[in-house]
Structure 1
Amino acid sequence: MAENSVTLREARAHLSDHINQAEQGTPTVITRNGVPVAAIVPVADLEALEEAADVMLAREAEAVLAEGGPTVTMAELLADLFSERDENVA
């Protein structure tokens, strides 16, 4: 699979072309000041990446639990989540 690299300006000017390329299986890396910052990828690639990340996280969680690692109750988890949300809103 070939990979294209374009500047942000080029990506804006030819967005539909890069989307068409993604539909054909070719990702486009977008650079800003010569540094890769984003990519337009086929949806199948994104879904595969998300699935792989989920598998890795599940394996890490299983390893922590197998080692007798820390666990939390659902109430503790919810309390932490809501306190983080409240902090971000304030």
Structure 2
Amino acid sequence: MSTRKVGIEDARKRLGDLVTAAQQGADIILTRNGRPVARLIPYEEPADES
């Protein structure tokens, strides 16, 4: 899995591309003023507990 750091301002312009990258397995770290503040990762459906 690859990890990419992206500034919030850049992420606003490229959200669709970042979501696609996350769907394909990328780990996207969102930064504000150069500091990590959030992570965009692929969604995994919770296991059915029935």
Aligned residue for 1:4? 4
**Partner of residue 32, structure 2:** 32
Segments of structure 2 that go 5 or more residues without pairing to the other structure are none
> Which stretches of structure 1, 4 residues or longer, exceed 2 Å deviation after superposition?
none
2:23 aligns with: 23
Instruction: Compute the RMSD of aligned alpha carbons.
Output: 1.0
Q: Structure 1, unaligned stretches of length 5 or more?
A: 48-90
- Partners of 1:22 and 1:2 in 2: CA distance: 10
1:12 & 1:21 partners in 2: Cα distance? 15
Q: State the Cα distance separating 1:12 from its structure 2 match.
A: 0.5
> What is the TM-score when the length of structure 1 is the normalising length?
0.48
Q: Report the structure number with the largest CA radius of gyration.
A: 1
Higher strand share: 2
Could you say which residue in structure 1 is the equivalent of 2:43? 43
Please report the TM-score for the alignment, with normalisation by the length of structure 2. Answer: 0.83
Count of aligned pairs between the two proteins: 45
Q: Percent identity?
A: 38
